[in-house]
Chains A and B, each alone.
Chain A
Amino acid sequence: MKITKHLFPKWHLKDKYLGVLYVLPAMFVLLGMTLYPFLYCINLSLQKWDLFQPNKRYYIGFTNYISLFIDPNFWNALKTTIIFTVVSVIVSFIIGLVLASLLAGKGRFVGAFRTIFVLPMIITPIVIGTGFKYLYDPTSGILNYVLSLIRITAPAWTTNPKTALLSVIMVDIWQWTPFMFLILIAGIQGLPKAPFEAAACDGASCWQILKNVTFPLMKPVVLIALLFRAIDSFRTFDTIYAITSGGPGMLTTTLNLFAYIKAFKMYRMGEAAAVAIIIWTIVFIFSQLLLKYLSTQKVVQGK
């Protein structure tokens, strides 16, 4: 700032305005890539636009939303999404917590194990989906082949109505448990030692320490982990698209996939935009509730 004052003595700006100037380019890019598409999507959701009639695009108010709310396929997709999210998040949290607890300390191969556990997370979801599609294949896939060696007749994982949703949930858990693990292990390693030492001095058992010391201290970290995972899981598309395309029937069609089908298979752009806005709204409400709860907790804890 002092440099500009010397270089452009007549034109120099106050520091705070100069700061704004420096972030403006990044803000334009960010707004252009987030706010503009978002507003465009809201605008599109209020229009009837069928791609096969390019010259007929007009406003219809909330008709797209009403059409969705009376469509049983929409509610089916919402139900599938909720089941997918809840099961995937809870199971990946439990596994992530156990792994984080086991690997939080120091040990000979702890670093290597931590690296290995993180690997699934860095692979592109569509690649994972395609890989698992072949792994799950009942006639050519290695999973059923291995099970047949021990005389287990495995189902057609992705096409059997009873196992299709479970099979895509398992892939999501496999891929994103490392994410939970990373957040939780950071939380565990950041915990202060004093409360634990005090509890040990007072003769608390492991379970009492876990319940009365670890969990309360870990709560903010846990909530953050759950929030991020839930948001991500709610929006899952690539793995499900690659593995089942939303089938059999519509048993694995989540809201995101439903929006894709509306746009790219049925060419109903307005309805697809409406589904996208509904997804955003649900995620927004959920995240706001959680963040409000977190800030309440901080007030209670005097932060």
Chain B
Amino acid sequence: MLRRVIVVTIMVLIALIISVPVLGAAEKPLQGQVVVVCNWPMSILDPVHKIIKEFEDATGARVLLDLMGESAVRERLTMEFATKNPVHNVVLLDCWNSEELKDYFVPLNDFIAQKSKPVVNGLDDFNIQDFDPSYVNIMNVDGQQIGLPYYWEVAGLHYRKDLFEKYNVKVPTNIDELLEAAKKLTLDTNGDGIIDIYGIAMRSVRGEDSGLMCSGAAWSFGGTWFEGGAATAKEIREKKARPSVNSKQWIDAFTFYGNLLSNYGPPGVTSYSWPEVMRDMEEGKLAMDIDANYFVGPYNDPKISKVAGKVSLAVPPKGPGGRVNQHGFVCGLGIPKGAKDQEAAWEFIKWYTAKSTVARSIIPGMRLNPCHPALIESDEYKKAFGEIGDAMLATAAAADWEYMPRFPEISQPTFILVDAWSNVIAGIKTPEEALNEAQKEILKVMTEAGYYK
């Protein structure tokens, strides 16, 4: 009898132990759903990735992070869009071609309108009003909110304040001063006949990011992609605005930056994307760069930079057009059409981009660029980042998001301009040749797309 009691007691205990997770899980709102994220890794996001378990524990959903290189993400997503068979249900959305890919993303308007489920810290305080509206609007196409932003950058001039002080060079505010500074600060510091520090670097690789660079450079000279500054598909169509990439402003911009980079840039600058620019600055090989303002954080991180504490950030110099050299970029997360577990995907995006989640990555991730103004204006941010934080705000205030148009066929013209930029920086073609060819090709693309009927 006693043996029977013991056996039954043990069996009941085992049954309870097995059933508790099941019972507990049944209470979780997203139990059984899986969030599969396709994105590229960034150090600012590492603190958020470390706390994903909190989201999983609270919601019951499982999160799989599929992080890969920037180009690889876009290629992977191109395949998923082409086959209409998305493996991932939370994916990267770039601002610059959001119009192009809008038909592949689920509009989040209805999701945003729902009350958030109080499942975990961060979701309680989700409020679309917390975001900077300019970053949210960039992911809004024809009234459809197809993504939520988690990262933004604008152009900034990073400069080695120690070199500027040592050689008595003024921080450039216009292109003449920029040229002068680049010339003076291309240095052979040890007298061996080999240049150790180059005046300036910018991205010139054959990739989408160079498209932003060259557009921003032309913008500062007063150039626009289309006649009359038409910046949307509707405007281009209504005004029948032809491309204007071979205007004097574009040619002057390409001439200036072509000479600047080929004379005072590192030898391999035509193959430079942002990792190479960052690498050279962190190794102390550059006096200046014009690139994402957010890089000032890593540049001053003693764990990775040899010039930590020596790099400052300023608003990029103005061109003859009276405008600052631009390069604005926002990326966010969206849900592809046809993806599974969209509810879990939405809850994850909400949690990932919510103010309180982002706040937890500000200091550990050196996240200088949250998409929430309240975080940037907070005492914690100011205390952590001091003058760098002020410089970030200054560059953001000088940003002008009109520098690149937004229309569905943007990828091909961007790549045509990238080719032109690369040809000019490498000295293969003159700016006139390269941009006249680009003009013809872009006009052909726009004509085929029916803009001038």
Contacts and interface: CB of A to CB of B under 8 A. Distances in A.
B194 A148 contact: yes
Nearest to B337: A54
B267 A139 contact: yes
A192 to B, nearest CB: 52
Interface stretch (A107-115, A264-272, A279-287, A291-299): A264-272
Nearest to A244: B271
A222 B291 CA distance: 52
Contacts of A245: 205-207, 271
Contact of B426 (A52, A55, A138, A249): A249
B106 to A, nearest CB: 14
A238 to B, nearest CB: 13
B415 A265 contact: yes
Contact of A248 (B100, B194, B423): B423
Interface stretch (A6-14, A117-125, A156-164, A175-183): A156-164
Looking at chain B, what size class is its interface with the partner chain? 35 or more
B271 A51 contact: no
Contacts of A139: 198, 266-268, 280, 285
- Chain A interface mostly: loop
Contact of B270 (A52, A155, A248, A264): A248
B268 A161 contact: no
A246 interface: yes
Contacts of A266: 411-412, 415
A158 B204 CA distance: 13
Contacts of B283: 140
B81 interface: yes
B104 A247 contact: no
Contacts of B207: 245
Looking at chain A, what size class is its interface with the partner chain? 35 or more
B266 A267 contact: no
Nearest to B444: A67
Contact of A55 (B103, B279, B285, B428): B103
B53 to A, nearest CB: 33
A156 to B, nearest CB: 4
A227 interface: no
Interface string A250-281: 11000000000101111111000000000000
Given A54-B84, A247-B270, A265 B205 contact: no
A249 B427 CA distance: 9
B390 interface: no
Interface string A208-251: 00000000000000000000000000000000000011111111
A34 interface: no
B118 to A, nearest CB: 37
B208 interface: yes
Q: Which of A50, A155, A160, A263 has the most CB of B within 10 A?
A: A50
Contacts of A54: 81, 84, 103-104
B78 interface: yes
A217 B268 CA distance: 48
B419 interface: yes
Contact of A161 (B78, B208, B285, B426): B426
B29 to A, nearest CB: 32
A205 interface: no
Contacts of A301: none
Nearest to B407: A52
Contacts of A269: 82
A158 B422 CA distance: 13
A148 B267 CA distance: 14
A155 B268 CA distance: 9
A249 B268 contact: no
A138 B78 contact: no
Contacts of B206: 245-247
B419 A250 contact: yes
Given A248-B422, A266-B412, A51 B280 contact: no
B28 interface: no
Contacts of A265: 208, 411, 415
A53 B422 contact: no
Interface string A123-165: 0000000000100011110000000100001011011110000
B271 A158 contact: yes
A161 B262 CA distance: 13
Interface string B289-327: 000000000000000000000000000000000000000
Nearest to B75: A264
B409 interface: yes
Closest 4 A/B residue pairs (Cβ): A248-B426, A156-B267, A138-B267, A249-B423
27 contacts: A51-B78, A52-B100, A52-B103, A52-B411, A137-B268, A138-B267, A140-B283, A148-B194, A153-B194, A156-B267, A244-B271, A245-B205, A245-B207, A246-B206, A247-B205, A247-B271, A248-B426, A249-B423, A249-B426, A249-B428, A249-B429, A250-B423, A264-B75, A266-B411, A266-B415, A267-B412, A269-B82
